[in-house]
């Protein structure tokens, strides 16, 4: 099987290269992202392997189909960047539904601890022997209420962590998990009750801008918000207005609405054209990271393993348990 691997970073090769050889796959690693301008590179390959900031729209599906590419291997759980409906009957889409939910949940709580206790500022201060504590006061998480939106694999890991901190946990999910002993509440109630809101739902037409002007209005004064799911769950303009109005105790963003083409790239030598991103960087209580919640050794290894197992199953006509269906894409 010939696989064109896009958006390659050095760390991708650590596991994909040796594991791909074991399967006998021919993997060609391209540094370029997968987009309309680079689609021609896929010619001659059986499958493409792409990451979260690559995209495949309906027109590109037709082009891939015409090139006889048969599968899209997503090395991610989320699949909002691919037109799954358009691929029905043309290309098989396979994903990695779970690799390390704990990696993302641990990162989410780390972001909250950072913005709450200002360790990012303390790190810089103490390196200059500025031992002043002015401006670094946080709040206890103990006995506060955590509101978890989406109680899938990562949401559940986050619930366990928040309980470890002695927090009361409420959750919202339109498909409540009956096995889970957590108090499900309406979205509105969660927004009004929670001291910490953590987003763990996928990006769909229903969840786009689930955090918007109205929901921010409902939130408690001084609320902490963390988004490790997908950027467009938050209406960035509304978030900025909320930050300016002093609504938030702190905000952690591992994902950003317009991250494509910016996240995972070194833009330090360029003028930042994205004004909202530049504005967000100016708030002392906002921490932005480059979509790295997943980035642990365990998760990277699991991503390579499952992606290549998916490819092997596809090639050999085995059951495709990680196939993304148009129904799932809603």
Catalytic residues: 230, 259, 291
- Say how far apart CA 74 and CA 95 lie, in whole Å: 5
Residue closest to ligand NAD, measured at CB? 152
54 binds ligand NAD (CB under 6 A): no
141 binds ligand NAD (CB under 6 A): no
- Identified binder of ligand NAD from the candidate list 77, 84, 141, 280, rule CB under 6 A: 77
What is the footprint of ligand NAD within residues 166-185 (CB under 6 A)? Answer: 172-175
256 binds ligand NAD (CB under 6 A): no
Under a CB-based contact definition with an 8 Å cutoff, are residues 303 and 97 in contact? no
154 binds ligand NAD (CB under 6 A): yes
CB of 140 to ligand NAD, least distance (A): 26
What's the token pair of residue 126? Answer: 């103490």
Binding to ligand NAD by CB under 6 A, coded x per residue (else -) over 196-235, reads: ----xxx---xx--------------------xxx-----
What is the footprint of ligand NAD within residues 11-30 (CB under 6 A)? Answer: none
78 binds ligand NAD (CB under 6 A): yes
104 binds ligand NAD (CB under 6 A): yes
CB of 155 to ligand NAD, least distance (A): 5
Q: Which of 90, 97, 69, 83 has the alpha carbon at shortest distance from 6?
A: 69
153 binds ligand NAD (CB under 6 A): yes
| Residue 118 or 294 having the CB closest to ligand NAD | 294
Neighbours of 284 (CB within 10 A): 11
CB of 175 to ligand NAD, least distance (A): 4
252 binds ligand NAD (CB under 6 A): no
| Residue 42 or 253 having the CB closest to ligand NAD | 253
What's the token pair of residue 170? Answer: 């409420």
| Residue 1 or 306 having the CB closest to ligand NAD | 306
CB of 54 to ligand NAD, least distance (A): 15
What is the footprint of ligand NAD within residues 288-327 (CB under 6 A)? Answer: 291, 293-294
51 binds ligand NAD (CB under 6 A): no
Q: Which of 144, 133, 94, 99 has the alpha carbon at shortest distance from 304?
A: 99
- State how far the alpha carbon of 89 is from the alpha carbons of 69, 146, 330, in Å: 13, 43, 17
| Residue 56 or 255 having the CB closest to ligand NAD | 255
Beta-bridge mates of residue 168: 145
Count of chain residues binding ligand NAD (CB under 6 A) = 29
Question: Interface with ligand NAD by CB under 6 A: which residues?
Answer: 77-78, 98, 101, 104, 149-155, 172-175, 200-202, 206-207, 228-230, 254-255, 291, 293-294
């Amino acid at each position: 099987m010939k696989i064109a691997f896009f958006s390659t970073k050095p760390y991708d090769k650590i596991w994909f290269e040796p594991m791909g050889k074991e399967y006998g796959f021919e993997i060609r690693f391209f540094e370029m992202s997968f987009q309309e301008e680079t689609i021609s590179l896929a010619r001659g390959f059986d499958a493409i392997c792409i990451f979260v900031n690559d995209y495949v729209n309906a027109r590109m599906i037709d082009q891939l189909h015409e090139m006889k590419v048969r599968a899209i291997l997503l090395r991610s759980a989320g699949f909002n960047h691919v037109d799954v409906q358009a691929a029905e009957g043309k290309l098989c889409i396979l994903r990695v539904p779970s690799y390390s939910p704990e990696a993302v949940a641990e990162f989410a709580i780390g972001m909250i601890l950072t913005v709450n206790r200002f360790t990012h500022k303390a790190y810089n201060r103490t390196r200059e022997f500025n031992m002043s504590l002015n401006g670094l006061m946080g709040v206890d998480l103990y006995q506060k209420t955590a509101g978890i939106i989406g109680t899938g694999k990562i949401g559940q890991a986050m619930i366990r962590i928040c309980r470890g901190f002695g927090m009361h946990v409420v959750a919202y999910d339109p498909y409540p998990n009956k096995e889970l002993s957590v108090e499900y509440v309406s979205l509105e109630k969660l927004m009004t009750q929670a001291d910490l809101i953590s987003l763990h739902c996928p990006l769909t037409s229903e969840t786009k801008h689930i955090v918007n002007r109205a929901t921010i209005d409902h939130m408690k004064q001084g609320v902490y918000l963390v988004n490790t799911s997908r950027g467009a769950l938050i209406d960035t303009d509304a978030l900025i207005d909320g930050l300016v109005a002093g609504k938030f105790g702190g905000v952690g963003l591992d994902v950003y609405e317009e991250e494509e083409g910016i996240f995972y790239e070194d833009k330090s030598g360029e003028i930042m054209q994205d004004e909202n991103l530049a504005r967000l960087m100016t708030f002392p209580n906002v921490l932005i990271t480059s979509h790295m919640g997943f980035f642990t050794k365990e998760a990277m290894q699991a991503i390579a393993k499952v992606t290549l197992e998916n490819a092997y199953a596809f090639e050999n006509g085995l059951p495709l348990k990680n196939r993304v269906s148009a129904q799932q894409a809603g």
